[in-house]
Amino acid sequence: MILFRSAILFLTAFISVQSLADPARLLSSKAVEHLSESDQWKKLLFYAKKTFNRQSSLFDSPGFFVSSEGKTDPLIEMQAMLTGMHQDPIAFANPELHPLCRFPIRAKFLIENLNIDRTTLPTPKCELREKWLARNVVKKVSLVFSSYYTDNPASMFGHSFLKLRINPVGLNGKQHNSANELLDFAVNYAAHMGDVDLLTYYWKGFSGQFPGKFSMEPFYVKVQEYNNFEQRDLWVYDLALTEEESVRLASIMWEISENEINYFYFDDNCSALMLALLDAAKPELNLYNKLPHLWIIPVDTLKVVTSEPGLVTDIQYIPSTRTKFLTRFRQLDKNEQQLVDELANKNEPSELATELKDLSVNGKIGVLDTLVELVDFKEDIAGADLGKEFKNLRAEALKIRSGIPERSEKLVTTPNDSERPDKAHGTTLMSLAGGVGSEGGRLAQLHWRPALHGFADAGDGYPQGLNIGFLNTRIAWDNESKTYILRNLGGIEIKSVPTVEPVIKKNAWTLNVGQRHRFDCGPEARDMCLSSFLNFGYGFSNFLFTENITGYALATGQLSILHDGYRLASAEPGIMGGISFTPKGPFKINIEATRQRSYGIKKITLVSKGDLTAMYALSNTKTLIVTGDYETKYGSSIVAGYGIYF
């Protein structure tokens, strides 16, 4: 393969030398044709292979190409670029629009690979570009993952972006050369939607009608946004890009500038684009093509990046306010913990000093620092917002704190290696199981969940108390009655059950949409029909107060459309309760029961339902799984089997 490539390169060089004298001949030469099919050229144009192997660029803005056919034809684009490079800058009203100014990396690539004599090229003044690149000398590149937060559905699948350490060359050398990560820059790709209603938002998001753009902003803005406002921990994966590749990345960003990529929720999303950007900057990488094809979840990109040998040099963790509060809280003794709780509940700034007077200096520091962190967490304090309800308490606490000259100890929140999001189980679960049906007959079950995580799945790398199912589908074959039972056809299911968190009481909630078979569709037992449902619930969790067992109870509501004779559609209020046993280690179990009254058009029925899921993780790719189901008028069934994550 390498030999073949060298041969082509040699040939390319030979032919191009021959054609130098005549740009017109160069355009139609075999060298150009070959080079236009090279991986490197396509990476610079962000080409991706899609269905039926058709290739096209991810970019949709015409401004990203010299030719109007550049999106789909790499050869025509290369020819147009070559022609453009030779054009007299005078032809451009604004010389900065000359292809040599606009696309410096593509120009360099062509000059080097086609042995173009630089003296034959015009020399447009690219002042803006030079200024920008001089101020954006990239020294270090990292991929940042903003993790999930149970209470924030928008963060369901996580988010990722690049972080660049930039050492700007100052106008008079006075720029900071800070090694402080906060002063780095974030490169983010996101949809820009403007003002639309929610339905339009999702329709357009899923069908790729929003323009997606790159933006660059100080990393501290992202830290405020994710760590402090949305309570999401950040994971920073430092990447091994050489100095040359880092600088190249800046030039590629210059080439991208304002050009847009239509945002597809499923694949051309933030995380995928970051990999395409890295591929373009570091020639030997081919990360984008290693991503799953149907849809891409940010964790998938982390897995791809970390599985590339030598690419990740270091991993850091930046805790959210929530994590910081919990860490500080756990460092206090019981009395101090109680005091923090009381002080926050009382919220009396004027009494704060008196309440603290009996504590030692270290006790005061611990209580005050924890109290402020608690307030910041409760109010999602970020940016220049100094709080509302607790504003005065916070100010008073800081006043007293600043009067104690001792410095607080550096807060260390180092999670276990196993909690790294890239170490989490694969995003898709598929399992086969066999067991016994309600009438004693054999039962086989196929389970397919393309994303993401349930209570009983091996917890590391995903937050505890979060259940996100996407297209979660469970089909059973009952050999006794010779019927198949659709246990679930997702839709989406979200269940947020906050685990034990001292002082903070967050509510549990759930939301499910999908289809499934029901057994109460007629007067007889096992009168089966298909139903579509929207199910929601709200309640509380965390009442058992132990680390590994979470109990939850919710009031639920459900709207169903049934293909039965007498209800057709029904409203179904009910109650749901569950217990998750999730100790550290491979074994986890979740049991859940629901009882609801079904107010149909003609008929009212009472339905009880129960589920049990127990899993024993063999690794982060394999698991043993036991599922039990009970339902009124069906009875119970249980299956055991083997599942794989990928």
**Residue 227 DSSP class:** I
Among 171, 310, 357, 416, binds another protein (CB under 8 A): 171
Among 62, 168, 565, 585, binds another protein (CB under 8 A): 168
H-state helical runs in 143-281: 198-207, 219-222, 243-256, 270-281
Q: Does 333 bind another protein (CB under 8 A)?
A: no
Q: How many residues bind another protein (CB under 8 A)?
A: 102
Rounded Cα gap, residues 223 and 140, in angstroms: 18
Residue-wise burial string across 597-615, b where 16 or more C-beta atoms lie within 10 A, e elsewhere: ebebeebebebebbbbbbb
Q: Measured from the CB atom, is 176 or 346 closer to another protein?
A: 176
DSSP, residue by residue, 467-501: EEEES-EEEEEETTTTEEEEEEEEEEEEEE-----
Contact 492, 536 (CB under 8 A): no
Stretch that binds another protein, among 176-184, 300-308, 518-526, 548-556 (CB under 8 A): 176-184
Query: CA dist 104 to 85, 100, 109, 114, 458, Å?
Result: 10, 6, 9, 15, 48
Q: How far from chain centre, in Å, is Cα 585?
A: 25
Rounded Cα gap, residues 470 and 473, in angstroms: 9
Least separation, in Å, of the C-beta of 174 and another protein?
6
Residues in contact with another protein, shown as a per-residue x/- string from 391 to 410 under the rule CB under 8 A: ----x--xx-xx--xxxxxx
Residues in contact with another protein, shown as a per-residue x/- string from 262 to 281 under the rule CB under 8 A: --x-x---------------
Q: Measured from the CB atom, is 129 or 420 closer to another protein?
A: 129
For 138, the 3-state DSSP assignment is strand
Q: Does 383 bind another protein (CB under 8 A)?
A: yes
Among 454, 514, 537, 551, binds another protein (CB under 8 A): 514
Amino acid letter for position 53: N
Q: Does 257 bind another protein (CB under 8 A)?
A: yes
Least separation, in Å, of the C-beta of 207 and another protein?
5
Q: Measured from the CB atom, is 3 or 384 closer to another protein?
A: 384
Q: Does 127 bind another protein (CB under 8 A)?
A: no
Binding residues for another protein restricted to 348-377, rule: CB under 8 A: 365, 369, 372, 376
Among 202, 543, 566, 646, binds another protein (CB under 8 A): 202
Contact 509, 537 (CB under 8 A): yes
Stretch that binds another protein, among 196-204, 330-338, 353-361, 480-488 (CB under 8 A): 196-204
Helix axes 321-331, 361-378, angle to 10 degrees: 150
Counting every residue written for the chain, the total comes to 646
Stretch that binds another protein, among 4-12, 203-211, 564-572, 617-625 (CB under 8 A): 203-211
Q: Does 62 bind another protein (CB under 8 A)?
A: no
Half-sphere exposure of 2 (CA within 13 A, CB side): 0
Query: CA dist 397 to 292, 296, 322, 362, 622, Å?
Result: 50, 45, 18, 15, 50
Which residues share a beta bridge with 4? none
Stretch that binds another protein, among 90-98, 279-287, 304-312, 523-531 (CB under 8 A): 90-98
Q: Measured from the CB atom, is 136 or 605 closer to another protein?
A: 136
Q: Measured from the CB atom, is 311 or 340 closer to another protein?
A: 340
**Dihedrals phi, psi of 489, to nearest 5 degrees:** -135, 100
Among 28, 62, 130, 206, binds another protein (CB under 8 A): 206
Q: Measured from the CB atom, is 380 or 501 closer to another protein?
A: 380
- Strand residue runs (E) in 125-226: 138-146, 159-166, 185-191, 210-218
Stretch that binds another protein, among 349-357, 385-393, 577-585, 614-622 (CB under 8 A): 385-393
Q: Does 573 bind another protein (CB under 8 A)?
A: no
Q: Measured from the CB atom, is 375 or 458 closer to another protein?
A: 375
Rounded Cα gap, residues 399 and 393, in angstroms: 10
Q: Measured from the CB atom, is 32 or 44 closer to another protein?
A: 44
Q: Measured from the CB atom, is 268 or 520 closer to another protein?
A: 268
Among 132, 477, 630, 642, binds another protein (CB under 8 A): 132
Least separation, in Å, of the C-beta of 350 and another protein?
16
Least separation, in Å, of the C-beta of 448 and another protein?
14
Rounded Cα gap, residues 178 and 167, in angstroms: 8
Least separation, in Å, of the C-beta of 329 and another protein?
16
Rounded Cα gap, residues 174 and 168, in angstroms: 10
Contact 452, 297 (CB under 8 A): yes
**Dihedrals phi, psi of 619, to nearest 5 degrees:** -165, -170
Rounded Cα gap, residues 43 and 580, in angstroms: 47
Q: Measured from the CB atom, is 248 or 526 closer to another protein?
A: 248
Binding residues for another protein restricted to 302-321, rule: CB under 8 A: none
Binding residues for another protein restricted to 585-604, rule: CB under 8 A: none
Least separation, in Å, of the C-beta of 137 and another protein?
9
Binding residues for another protein restricted to 474-513, rule: CB under 8 A: 490-492, 494, 511-513
Binding residues for another protein restricted to 418-447, rule: CB under 8 A: none
Helix axes 243-256, 127-135, angle to 10 degrees: 130
Amino acid letter for position 484: Y
Binding residues for another protein restricted to 524-563, rule: CB under 8 A: 534, 536
Q: What angle do CA 353, 359, 363 make, to 5 degrees?
A: 105
Among 72, 177, 362, 621, binds another protein (CB under 8 A): 177
Stretch that binds another protein, among 151-159, 303-311, 336-344, 623-631 (CB under 8 A): 151-159
Among 37, 96, 238, 341, binds another protein (CB under 8 A): 96
Q: Measured from the CB atom, is 2 or 171 closer to another protein?
A: 171
Query: CA dist 211 to 217, 255, 262, 434, Å?
Result: 19, 17, 5, 47
Binding residues for another protein restricted to 210-249, rule: CB under 8 A: 213-218, 220-221, 224-225, 228-230
Q: Does 451 bind another protein (CB under 8 A)?
A: no
Contact 593, 609 (CB under 8 A): yes
Query: CA dist 554 to 22, 149, 356, 606, Å?
Result: 77, 20, 39, 18
